[in-house]
Amino acid sequence: MTSSALQNRTLLLLLAAVTVAFAAILWPFNGAVFWGVVLAILFAPLHRKLLRSMPRRRNLAAFVTLCVCLLIVILPMALIGVSLAQEASVAYERMRSGQLNYGAYLQQVLAALPAWLLALLDRFHLTSVAELQARLASVGAQASQFLATKALDVGQNTLQFIVSFGVMLYLLFFLLRDGVQLATRVRDAIPMDDQHKRQLARKFITVTRATVKGNIAVAAAQGALGGLIFWVLDIQGPVMWGVLMAFLSLLPAVGASLIWGPVAIYFLATGATWQAITLTAYGICVIGLVDNLLRPVLVGKDTKMPDYVVLISTLGGMALFGLTGFVIGPVIAALFMATWDLFAPPPAPPPAE
């Protein structure tokens, strides 16, 4: 082995070692770093506009952009989080005191079902009220224990959350101010053709923006519309149910219906016919259409990926990375497709007729 080859291999080994070590150092704050990068990508166009109006005041432009991000994104999320915590605590107290009894609600639904449907459910052993109540009680106990555990974790990890939040804001400021120079240095260090690097970087930024804006817009719209109809129908905890619908809206087609569907069935079984009809029509014609109208326009159009790829990559990303997977999954899928496109030959022109 020549001296030059040995030096190159040693350098590569050292580069890999320090990269892994640096990633291990950042890992405790992976969420803060991830969302700092995502918010910097989302608000980069605004920062560029401010920078054009004040070209010699880079710090001020980054600070103003950071304040806009706080007002538009972080402050509303904090207010919703406070309302959600209040309504969740009320629901938990009602479950613990027995005022909220899902077994009684189920019994009312079963009592209103026709005989043929009861016979069908009996074949699957789903008509035993005692058994179902026991299962619901078990689920309720597990949910209560889960909520209590999470509440305890939140209390114990308050300092960690504050530190992570501060790290995210600090990182976001410097990514807004110096992000272009940092991205240029990283791009120059990658041993690839300049055209390929630009293509991959453009794909990464486009997919990240489209995924975050599209999924958050759909989730916010479905959650707000669902919470509104629950408030109109005087269902307790509209903010809590709206947040749950917003979260479940990340599952296309059936997400929000997992919340409003059982409520509509309960209304129908208990004789509240107009509430059941109103909620069902509203859920199908308003909440359901939001996903079909907004998601293809905001996500599929910009990412230029098939809907089934977006769906599978979103679900797979959430399964592996948790909530942040709804961004990481489509980004990995888009980079996978873009990387293979670099090696694939261009498509043949269609045959002339």
Helix 257-269 vs helix 273-282: angle between axes, to the nearest 10 degrees? 160
- Phi-psi domain of 237 (left: phi exceeds 0; alpha: psi -120 through 50; beta: other): left
Q: So where are the chain's domains?
A: 193-342
Question: Quick check: 342 and 194 in contact, CB under 8 A?
Answer: no
Question: What is the residue-level pLDDT of the chain in tens, covering all 353 positions?
Answer: 567 778 878 888 888 899 899 888 888 888 888 888 888 888 888 888 888 888 788 888 889 999 998 888 777 777 777 776 666 666 666 666 666 555 566 666 666 666 666 666 666 555 555 555 555 556 555 554 554 555 555 555 567 777 888 888 899 899 888 888 888 887 777 777 777 778 778 877 877 777 777 777 788 888 888 888 888 888 877 877 888 888 777 766 667 787 888 888 878 777 778 888 888 888 888 887 777 777 666 665 666 677 677 778 877 887 888 777 877 887 888 778 777 777 765 555 555 55
Residues 39, 209: Cα–Cα separation, whole Å: 9
Give Cα 275 to chain centroid, integer Å.
30
Q: What is the pTM of this model?
A: 0.67
Residues 353, 350: Cα–Cα separation, whole Å: 9
